[in-house]
Each structure stands twice: as C-alpha cells, then as structure tokens.
Amino acid sequence: MTWQDIARKDVSDAGRSRTLWALAGLLLVGFVGYSYGHTYLGEDSFPAFLEGLAQVIGSGLPLLGILLGYKSIVHERKSGSLFLTLSFPHSRRDVIVGKFVGRAIVLLAPTLVALIVAGVVGAVRYGTDGLALFPWFLLATALYGVVFVAISMALSMWTTVDRWITFGALGSYLLLVQLWDNFHSLTILLLHRFDFSVFADMPDWALLFRLLKPSEAYYRLLRAGFDVSLAGRYVGDGTPLYVEWWMALVLLALWCAVPLAVGFRRFGTTDL
C-alpha cells in the first residue's frame, strides 16, 4: 500500500461529505455570480474579468485551503485512526504525501470546475480575447490554493494542541493574506527611519520582499499571461531580473514545500 491509497481514501471520504458538496455549490454560485456581476464592476473585457475574479480568489481561496488542511493530521492522531493506518505497511511519509495530495484534490476539483464554468460565462459575456491562455490562469490558481493546504497541514503536523493550531491557522491567514502589505511597509519605514519618500522609489530588495506574499506571487504569474493591472510594479524598465514571473513560480513552490518539510520533520520525531 502506498500514499496513493491514502490519497484515494481521503478523496473518497470527502466525496461523501455534505460540507464538500455545499462548498462546491458555493464556489460555483460565487464565481458564476461574479461573471455576471463584473459588468457593474469593471471593464467589459475577458482579461479585466479575470483580473477581478483573481482578486476574489486571492482572498477567498486561502481560507478554504486552510480550513481543509489545518485538522487533517491532528484529528487522525487524536482519534487513533493514524495509529491504525501506520499499522499497515505505510510510512509516515506516505501518510503526509497522501493526505496532502488528497486535500489538494478536494480543494482544487470543485474550485477548477467552478472556474471553468465561470470562464465560459465570462467568455460569452466579455469576449474571447485572452481565452487561449485561460489554462495558465487555472494553473496559477491551483498552485496558489495548494500553498495554503501545505501551510495548514504543517500546523497540523507540528502540534496536537487544538488552540495553537487554530491560532496558527488564523494568524497565517491574517499575515499572509491581509496584513503582509502593512508588514512590508512598516519594515521599509523602520529601515529608512520613517522616510516616506522611499515608497516612491522602493529599493530592489523591497520588491522581492513584497513578492514573498503568496497572493502577490499569484498576481505576478497572472501578469505574465494576461494584460492586467495586477503586479504592475514588477514590470518595466530597470526592474530587477529576480522579480520576473519565474520567481513568483519559485516562491509559490517554496511556500508549498518548506512548511511541509518543516512540519514533517517535527511529525517524524514525535510520538503519536
């Protein structure tokens, strides 16, 4: 038995969950609803529609990823089912990889289906200019979503104390989604002795620091494929090479891999 069996079981269990089906319905209604509502919110073009949809995803998808991942390991540890799973020929690595793949599929399957439906509606309403690159939009969104599954699973591996996992999940969402821009600005001001003129011409390292924010890296990837106003600070003459679109891809991959590696290191050395 391998991690594929664990992932398959995780997806199968989720498929019987009414909560998952409710989530799928909510995503479909939300994304398709935006397809119609964009008429009143922005320019009537397909790239502008994707830009608005990406901003909705930027705030909403991380929350769903965290909710799906933050109890994924600790719940099984406390219920004893993890001990039973490991009594079969599974390693702890198999469990983590299988759980991660399973939770990623549970998040992305309804998300991508809802986005495809919304994309079709958007193309009908706003034209097909840029539609050929829509798979790039889906790929970037998928990578962005699994980042938060990885972060929340790392929290679930790190400790068995529910309140610390909950605080960590909430703190991760607030810092990485809502407060990173403030943290970035405050750091620059402290280093430049509260000289606000630095924001008019930020140093190159500050651009990379800002790109560390997962949603900013997500927007940078979208900018590589579509003519949108998102992540405009990373393009133009004199922009350093290390804030090109490929760096956004690298940073999102690191946000996914590093938390899982750190969490697994802790999980692999603790008693069940």
DSSP letter string over the chain? --HHHHHHHHHHHHHT-HHHHHHHHHHHHHHHHHHHHGGGTS-SSHHHHHHHHHHHHHHHHHHHHHHHHTTTTHHHHHHSHHHHHHHSS--HHHHHHHHHHHHHHHHHHHHHHHHHHHHHHHHHHH-STTGGGHHHHHHHHHHHHHHHHHHHHHHHHH-S-HHHHHHHHHHHHIIIIIIHHHHHHHHHHHHTTT-GGGGGS--HHHHHHHHTSHHHHHHHHHHHHS--STTGGG-STT--GGGSHHHHHHHHHHHHHHHHHHHHHHHTTS--
Q: What is the distance between the alpha carbons of residues 103 and 65, in angstroms, rounded to a whole number?
A: 8
Q: Which amino acid is at 207?
A: L
Which amino acid is located at 51 in the chain?
Answer: E
CA nearest neighbour of 213 among 241, 240, 239, 187: 187
Per the listing, tokens 């909950």 go with 166
Q: How far apart are CA 270 and CA 137, in angstroms?
A: 40
Task: Using alpha carbons only, give the angle 156, 71, 210 rounded to the nearest 5 degrees.
Answer: 60
Instruction: Judge whether 64 and 108 are in contact, CB under 8 Å.
Output: no
Q: Residue with structure tokens 């430049």? A: 192
| Residues of the chain where predicted confidence (pLDDT) is lower than 50 | none
Q: How many CB atoms lie within 10 A of CB 33?
A: 13
Amino acid identity for residue 237 in this structure? D
What is the reported pTM? 0.92
Say if residues 64 and 14 touch (Cβ distance below 8 Å). no
Tell the residue number behind the tokens 């899982």, with chain if given: 260
* The pLDDT of residue 83: 66
Cα 139-20-116 angle, rounded to 5 deg: 35
∠ Cα 92 93 99 (to 5°): 90
